[in-house]
Amino acid sequence: MITIGQLAKYVGVSIKTIRVYHDKGLLPEPDRDVSGYRRYDAKDAIDLIKIRTLAEAGVPLARIRDLRSATGEEFQQALCEIDDELTASIRGLQATQVRLRELAAGHLAPLPTEVGAHLEHLARWGFTPRWVDLQRDLWILVFATYPDRAITLFHDQAETLANPALRQLFLDYDHAHDLDADDPRIDGLARRIVKATREHYGPDELPELDAASEIPALIQGTVNASSPAWQRLDTLIRAQLDA
């Protein structure tokens, strides 16, 4: 017979943890000796080892308590299910580890090959390295957030940029980055973009993502944050499209 302190030391848990297990009904409280101290035997130690192992595996305490009344076959079946859950969790953690290592190497997420080719075209068409880098980051965000719609949105933009006149609007947008926010050329560019947008999509068919999502605002906010001129351009475009 051993004391609660000795039991805690042998099993590798705290005395407080054992008391919690008593309160939760996982480990029955033993009888006390004549001095009023709890005394534990080998079975208590074995039961506590089982509880600790299951708890460390992430099994909720309520489920552990329910397993106390399980038959031997039911207990083995539960262990197999817990093992399967741990295997799935390990695979998820390994996938996360891969993404962390990609992040450490400077690779946030893979993009489809055609997107990479498109980004190379941007440089050849005269877009600044700043714009190309921004587009890469934004497409990573879109593909990560809207995997089922991202490729359609990408094809729409690629088709737009294949049109020389529309491509020039994007080039002008890119090169407006360094203008003063009150430069009158921004007003003219906003009007041209709104006109081209309505002609391309129609007045009631403007492209949208999820209206309830904050991602579109995050994307536009990322763009606007780098240039007061771009911020004012966005404000003018939105106001004219909503008019």
pLDDT, residue 223, reads 74
Contact 208, 162 (CB under 8 A): no
CA distance 94 to 142: 24
Residue 126 has pLDDT above 80, yes or no: yes
pLDDT, residue 201, reads 73
Contact 145, 215 (CB under 8 A): yes
Mean pLDDT of the chain: 84
Dihedral of CA atoms 213, 217, 220, 226 in degrees, nearest 10, equals -130
pLDDT, residue 95, reads 73
CA distance 27 to 73: 21
Q: Which residue is it, tokens 């529309």?
A: 166
pLDDT, residue 173, reads 92
- How many CB atoms within 10 Å of residue 150? 20
What's the pLDDT tens digit per position in 182-234? 999 999 999 999 898 888 777 665 555 454 456 566 667 767 777 899 999 98
pLDDT, residue 140, reads 81
Q: Which residue is it, tokens 């848990």?
A: 13
The structure tokens listed for 112 are: 């489809």
Residue 55 has pLDDT above 80, yes or no: yes
pLDDT, residue 26, reads 92
Give the confidence band of 110 by pLDDT, cuts at 50, 70, 90. low
